[in-house]
């Protein structure tokens, strides 16, 4: 029985996490891959998700990979990597194509042409950016909206609405270049919030409609799902570090003490519990107001039956779940990892690296836009390799 190995590398602002997973022919595409090794290292050389010192980043990645290799007994030669930080953004576009066959049967070529037309229409709007994912949201055939994919339907014109997830070209180039210079070929790149959703969300949640919110140290990233497809992605430049800073200023304590207080430590410290609650609530309210404003913009506020699923370091704050429920008028819960992975993935901070492995080992289409985005291969890696001789 053939076995397949894949590596996911999550390069974050504060940590690098590596997961090596395995699947055999009987599991691939039908079940979760088995984690056989993990590696962790403190991130150095990054700020807000982008590289400021390639040498430090390379050292951090090399250390994390070495740990994972030792634990798994597998040499890492190729990997899927995540792209996160405030450089991620979305843009929607519409494209159309005339069916090519004389009998007006719509082919995959026609669908691809419509998606390509939508991509061409946004090129002038996204200077200095590269497309990570092109996710079709809906199709129209001869001005009539169709359910699902229009492949093999009859019509003279096909139109498609597409969600494009983009990243700054320079940030992406630096990340791929740094990984490949330590001897690891990059198979593909995925937006961190979408990679995390492969682990943290169930099919039922994605089908009904939900929002996955990762409250990180410096950013809050959200991805909204509906009908099993990501319909929106946004990153806000605010995070749990802002809560720590507010506590330090409000209670006149050091940052180290403020971090402990935020996490529920220093219970005997001489500070007002009421004042602490006010400080934390004020900043969390700011975060949820940003999320609610975005949901209103995309016309999904109060309309996601599966609610908001919270993850990231900030999700550990005691009042966050109740405040999210009240602020967004949605059900809320704290995300949990499947405990079946032999304890190798200890908490939700590993979700992105493991999600990359799931993505890399998925052989069959998952009836979602993510699979199609993967099949498109993003074009960014071929671009980088074709022009690698021009990189410094």
Express each pLDDT in 95-154 by its tens digit: 999 999 999 999 999 999 999 999 999 999 999 999 999 999 999 999 999 988 898 899
Span 303-336, pLDDT tens digits: 999 999 999 888 888 889 999 999 999 999 998 8
CA Rg, the chain, in Å? 22
pLDDT beyond 50 at 40: yes
Domain spans of the chain?
3-86+169-199+339-390, 89-167, 203-334
The alpha carbon dihedral of 343, 348, 350, 356 has a sign of positive
The two three-digit tokens of residue 333, written as one number:
């819960």
Task: Please report the pLDDT score of residue 377 as a whole number.
Answer: 45
- Assess whether pLDDT exceeds 80 at residue 343: no
Q: What's the CATH class of domain 203-334?
A: alpha beta
Please measure the distance between the N-terminal and C-terminal CA atoms of the chain and give it in whole angstroms.
44
Name, in order, each residue with C-beta under 8 angstroms of 155's C-beta and a sequence gap of 6 or more. 99, 104, 106, 141, 142
Helix axes 240-251, 273-297, angle to 10 degrees: 150
CA 31 to chain centre: 21
E strand residue ranges, 43-151 = 46-47, 50-51, 78-83, 89-98, 129-141, 144-146
Fold agreement between 89-167 and 203-334:
no
Rounded distance between C-alpha atoms, residue 19 and residue 12, angstroms: 14
Pick the CATH number of 3-86+169-199+339-390 from 3.40.50.10860, 3.40.50.300, 2.60.40.1180, 3.30.420.40: 3.30.420.40
CA distance 61 to 41: 7
Task: Report pLDDT digits (tens) over 267-295.
Answer: 556 778 889 999 999 999 999 999 999 99
Cα 252 → chain centroid: 36
Count of beta carbons in the 10 Å neighbourhood of residue 367? 14
List residues bridging with 81 in a β-sheet. Answer: 9, 189
Measured in whole angstroms, the distance separating CA 384 from the mean position of its chain's CA atoms is 22
Second CATH level (architecture) for the domain 89-167: 2-Layer Sandwich (3.30)
């Amino acid at each position: 029985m053939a076995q397949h190995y894949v590596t996911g590398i999550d390069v974050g602002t504060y940590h690098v996490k590596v997961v090596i997973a395995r699947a055999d022919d009987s599991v691939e595409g039908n079940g979760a891959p088995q984690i056989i090794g993990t590696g962790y290292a403190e991130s150095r050389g990054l700020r807000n998700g982008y590289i400021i010192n390639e040498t430090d980043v390379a050292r951090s990645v090399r250390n994390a990979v070495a740990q994972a290799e030792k634990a798994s007994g597998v040499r890492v030669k190729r990997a899927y990597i995540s792209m996160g930080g405030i450089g991620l953004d979305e843009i929607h576009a519409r494209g159309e194509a005339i069916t090519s066959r004389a009998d007006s049967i719509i082919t995959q070529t026609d669908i691809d042409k419509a998606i390509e037309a939508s991509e061409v229409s946004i090129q002038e709007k996204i200077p200095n950016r590269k497309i990570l994912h092109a996710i079709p949201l809906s199709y129209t055939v001869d001005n009539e909206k169709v359910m699902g994919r229009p492949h093999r339907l009859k019509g003279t014109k096909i139109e498609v609405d597409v969600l494009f997830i983009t990243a700054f070209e320079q940030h992406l180039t630096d990340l791929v270049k740094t990984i490949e210079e330590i001897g690891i070929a990059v198979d593909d790149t995925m937006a961190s919030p979408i990679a995390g959703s492969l682990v943290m969300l169930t099919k039922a949640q994605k089908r009904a409609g939900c929002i996955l919110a990762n409250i990180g140290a410096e950013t809050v990233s959200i991805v909204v799902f509906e009908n099993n497809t990501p319909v929106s992605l946004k990153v806000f430049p605010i995070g749990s570090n802002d809560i720590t800073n507010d506590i330090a200023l409000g209670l006149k304590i050091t940052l180290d003490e403020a971090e402990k207080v935020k996490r529920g430590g220093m219970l005997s410290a001489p500070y007002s519990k009421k004042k602490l609650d006010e400080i934390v609530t004020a900043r969390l309210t700011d975060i949820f107001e940003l999320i609610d404003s975005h949901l209103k913009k995309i016309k999904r506020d109060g309309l996601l039956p599966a609610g908001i699923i919270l993850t990231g370091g900030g999700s550990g704050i005691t009042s966050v779940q109740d405040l999210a429920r009240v602020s967004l008028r949605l059900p809320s819960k704290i995300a949990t990892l499947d405990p079946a992975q032999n304890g190798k993935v200890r908490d939700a901070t590993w979700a992105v690296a493991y999600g990359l492995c799931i993505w890399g080992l998925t052989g069959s289409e998952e009836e979602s836009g993510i699979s199609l985005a993967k099949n498109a291969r993003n074009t960014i890696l071929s671009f980088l390799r074709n022009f690698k001789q021009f990189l410094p």
